[in-house]
Structure 1
Amino acid sequence: MAHTAQCSNNGGPWRLYVVLFGETEWPAFSWSSGQAPTVAQRREALAALGYEPLPHTEWRWIEDSAVPGDDSTAVLLIASTEVRELPAGGAA
């Protein structure tokens, strides 16, 4: 089953999470640096959470605003990609 992973920043540390509909808590990982994590760092964080990007997928970036509909507020960057759970026992 495929899920969406998102990586975002609201002015502090970057946070990566896997969206699990119907769940109250989502697997998440945070970096202590305010610098955007590399693709390799995002892949490692996903693996630590038990997920991997689907083959042939790329991260897509979108821009949002801190206050929805108000483009004069701070810009929020959100990256997303499709992921799947790692098979039992490790990486595929």
Structure 2
Amino acid sequence: MSGQETAREFTSQMAVRRGRWRLYVALLGTTERWPEHSFNRALPVPTFTERADALSALGFELLPGAEWTWTEDSETHGDPSSAVLLIAETRVRSRAGVGA
């Protein structure tokens, strides 16, 4: 990255949608379409390396020291008997030469 380019920071999340893990980068504050990657499976949960590779293919990388955190949510808001949804989240930055 040249001295004039600045990597932009974003939040990346991963969750199961329609029975498949999907990773996306939330480009809040922009009008750009959110980049996403489908792992095309429910199990096993994508590994750290698979997630890093997917982010790289989308033009992003983990921030130094960033870790994935996991949050439990419910499929139906406010219904404690609803199926559990797991959402992973981490901080990422755009890479040099990528238009994000």
The normalised TM-score by structure 1 is 0.89
Does 2:61 match 1:29?
no
Post-superposition CA distance 1:14-73 (Å, at most 9, x none)? 000000113362100001121210010000000000000000010000000001121210
Q: CA deviation at 1:11?
A: 5.5
Q: SS at 2:50's partner residue?
A: helix
Distance (whole Å) between structure 1 residues aligned to residue 31 and residue 78 of structure 2: 27
Deviation at 1:88, TM superposition (A): 2.0
1:17 equivalent to 2:20? Answer no
Which residue pairs with 1:2 in the alignment? 9
* TM-score normalised by length of structure 2: 0.83
Q: Return the index of the structure with the highest Cα Rg.
A: 2
2:69 matched to 1:60? yes
Match of 1:82 in 2: 91
Cα 1:72–1:46 change in 2 (3 A) is same
SS of the equivalent of 2:13 reads strand
Q: Which runs of 5+ in 2 are unaligned?
A: 1-7
Pick which of 13-22 and 2-11 moved more: 2-11
Structure 1 gaps, min length 5 = none
Distance across 2 between alignment mates of 1:75 and 1:25: 27
Counterpart of 1:50 in structure 2 is 59
Distance 1:24 1:75 in 2: 30
Aligned residues: 89
Distance in 1, matches of 2:65 and 2:32, equals 30
